[in-house]
Amino acid sequence: MNTFANKVVWITGASSGIGEALAYALAQEGARLILSARRKTELDRVAQQTQLPAADILILPLDVEQSDTFDKATQTVIQTFGRIDVLILNAGISQRSFIKDTPLTVDRRIMEINYFGIVGLAKTVLPTFVKQQSGQFIVTSSVVGYIGTPMRSSYAASKHALHGFFDSLRAEHWKDQIKVTIVCPGYIKTAISLHAIDEKGEQYNKMDTNQEKGMQPAVCARHILKAVKKNKEEVYIGGKEIFGIYMKRFFPLLLSRVIRNYNIKTVNS
């Protein structure tokens, strides 16, 4: 993909953070946007700030925990724009709790949002991509999609699972001209830690130190779009924390020692 001009791009998790930044970056490139998240008021704000004409933007509230709404949402997009060129699967929730303190109900909710919700929407849009013989999935994973860290057990598991699913999807549908880019951000300055859930399933409501010092979402968005234009299958975005992915591959024992000795309060999603 050389350009996003006139492409129909559906962004989930578009009300804040990386999703919001992608909306602005894509608007500047001339894309036609569908903005989805749970909070309509925030979607309205983002839509206004894109400065796109009304004909080129659709506000479509969506909760990825409610998979029974995916068919109707997809049909709304098709009826509005006639096609979908790119689906950015960016919705998700993080975690701040120890395994021993976390009931299975919390683990299940994290998987429902971060894995089943993402996979469910991808499966709903996939027939459209097959019919078109074109389409692009952009999937927001994380550095912890490769590395499990303290207080992120089910969050890490959900991101690991996305890699397995979308690697398989890519292998099955390459002849349909369907592409997949998996994005692995490190420390990005978003509200993800504020909205993370604890062992009670309640909002964590604290900003992680490394999150506060992280890369600006707008910079992250530029890296993502650059990677997609180059047809990269995966991209790692962040600072020194992304070297942990390479350590996992080549020096796993060393990484294990680093992680277990790391100050848990500074470990970030």
Q: Which long-range contacts (CB under 8 A, 24 or more apart) does 243-249 make?
A: 244/143, 244/146, 244/147, 245/143, 245/146, 245/147, 245/184, 248/146, 248/147
Question: 177, 218 in Cβ contact below 8 A?
Answer: no
Closest CA relative to residue 206, chosen from 120, 117, 96: 96
Q: Look at residue 59 and tell me if it is in a domain.
A: yes
155: annotated active-site residue: yes
- Domain span at 176: 8-266
Q: Look at residue 73 and tell me if it is in a domain.
A: yes
Task: Tell me the CATH number at 12.
Answer: 3.40.50.720
pLDDT category at 267 given cuts 50, 70, 90 is very low
Give tens-digit pLDDT for 161-205.
999 999 999 999 999 999 999 999 999 999 888 989 999 999 898
Give tens-digit pLDDT for 9-49.
999 999 999 999 999 999 999 999 999 999 999 999 999 99
Q: Look at residue 3 and tell me if it is in a domain.
A: no
Closest CA relative to residue 150, chosen from 208, 109, 108: 208
Give tens-digit pLDDT for 58-115.
999 999 999 999 999 999 999 999 999 999 999 999 999 999 999 999 999 999 999 9
pLDDT category at 263 given cuts 50, 70, 90 is low
Q: At residue 264, does pLDDT exceed 80?
A: no
Total tally of structural domains belonging to the chain? 1
Q: Look at residue 57 and tell me if it is in a domain.
A: yes
Out of 115, 155, 204, 236, the active site residue is: 155
* pTM beyond 0.85, yes or no: yes
Q: Look at residue 53 and tell me if it is in a domain.
A: yes
Q: Look at residue 138 and tell me if it is in a domain.
A: yes
pLDDT of residue 265: 47
pLDDT of residue 43: 98
Q: Look at residue 2 and tell me if it is in a domain.
A: no
| Amino acid letter, residue 126 | L
Give tens-digit pLDDT for 112-164.
999 999 999 999 999 999 999 999 999 999 999 999 999 999 999 999 999 99
Q: How far apart are the first and last CA of the chain?
A: 29
